[in-house]
Amino acid sequence: MSHLDVDFGFNQALVEELFLQYCDNPASVSEEWRSFFESLPADALPSLTSAGGVRAPAARGAAPTNGSNGNGTNGNGKYLVPAYADEVSTSAFLPPGEEQEPFVDRRSLERRMESFPRSEDFLTATTLQGRVSALVNAFRVRGHLFADVDPLNLNPIPPDDLLLERYGLSNVTPETLFSTGDMEGPAVATLAEIIRRLKETYHRTIGVEFTFIEEREQRTWLQRRMESTCNRIDLTAEAQLRILSKLTDAEIFEQFLHTNYVGAKRFSLEGAESLIPLMDLMVDRLSELGTEEIVIGMAHRGR
């Protein structure tokens, strides 16, 4: 048989069907087609796709020249051979957490089928990945409702909306790998690590409610910066001392006014002392960025 520099063309579906039959049982196809598939180099065989079909080979090879087990001649007794070298992937799609292994030895049926996921396994992996994505979204939307903001823990609210059972993930091994999607950090992480990072960001002692913001760019900006740091800022010793100093100044000034101006009408800073170091750092940073004028409008407290 000669090697043909042609394409399967409209016979592509037929050849794909024959190849799938060959993968399932080499004896189910005619001797001519079996010889054709076996004669191709290892890197020239069609690759199986996640949808259960095949893609055209990345190299050219010889096809049977008779019409046995096929009727796709082009008028001169020559079957069309694929030539999509630049468009073909040589590895099967595997569910998240599994390594993709190239089809090194295509002539080994056992090896080939081990590399290709069963359809039910693929659907299971896809379903679980969708549930993890739903859990991630739930933390972003509802996590602030269950944040630990009560120092006395008098009326703890059970995080029903964030339980694994609610998303069908209670029986999943914590070390199972999943895609993190649009979460900041590694592209793949264990279920336990994903949950840990989500709790650190949205379900700790700080509640974050931001999904109501209509501007997508603003939401994305906040989301990336919160999830990349788990809502924790590494402060130097100097910065911590500066914050403590400003908090102390605010409290001392509050006590001074309360003691020396008894009965005078004023708006207390009590309960909002943390605003002072925040504004101090903000003004300092703005000056570094070239800001020349700042106008502050405040209502009631801290005025």
Within this chain, do residues 216 and 248 fall inside the same structural domain, yes or no? no
CA 60/CA 65 separation, integer angstroms = 15
Task: State the total domains in the chain.
Answer: 3
Within this chain, do residues 59 and 157 fall inside the same structural domain, yes or no? no
The DSSP annotation for 24-80 comes to: H-GGGS-HHHHHHHHHS-GGGSPEE-TTS-EE--SS-----SS-TT---B-SSS-B-
- The structure tokens listed for 73 are 């001649």
Within this chain, do residues 22 and 108 fall inside the same structural domain, yes or no? yes
Within this chain, do residues 282 and 243 fall inside the same structural domain, yes or no? yes
Within this chain, do residues 241 and 224 fall inside the same structural domain, yes or no? no
Establish if 296 belongs to a structural domain. no
Q: What is the pLDDT of residue 140?
A: 93
SS3 call for 201: helix
- Select the more confidently predicted residue: 125 or 243: 243
Lowest mean pLDDT among 27-31, 44-48, 186-190: 44-48
Q: What is the pLDDT of residues 204-236, one digit of tens each?
A: 888 889 999 999 999 999 999 999 999 888 889
Within this chain, do residues 243 and 222 fall inside the same structural domain, yes or no? no
Within this chain, do residues 210 and 258 fall inside the same structural domain, yes or no? no
Q: What is the mean pLDDT of residues 82-98?
A: 38
Percent of the chain past pLDDT 90, that is, above it, reads 26
pLDDT at 11 over 70: no
Within this chain, do residues 99 and 182 fall inside the same structural domain, yes or no? no
Within this chain, do residues 92 and 141 fall inside the same structural domain, yes or no? no
Q: What is the dihedral of CA 35, 38, 41, 46, to 10 degrees?
A: 100
Within this chain, do residues 131 and 195 fall inside the same structural domain, yes or no? yes
Boundaries of domain holding 266: 237-288
Within this chain, do residues 112 and 124 fall inside the same structural domain, yes or no? no
Provide the angle, in degrees to the nearest 10, between the axes of the packed helices 237-260 and 275-288: 130
* Confidence label for 288 from pLDDT (cuts 50, 70 and 90): very high
pLDDT at 284 over 80: yes
- Select the more confidently predicted residue: 134 or 151: 134
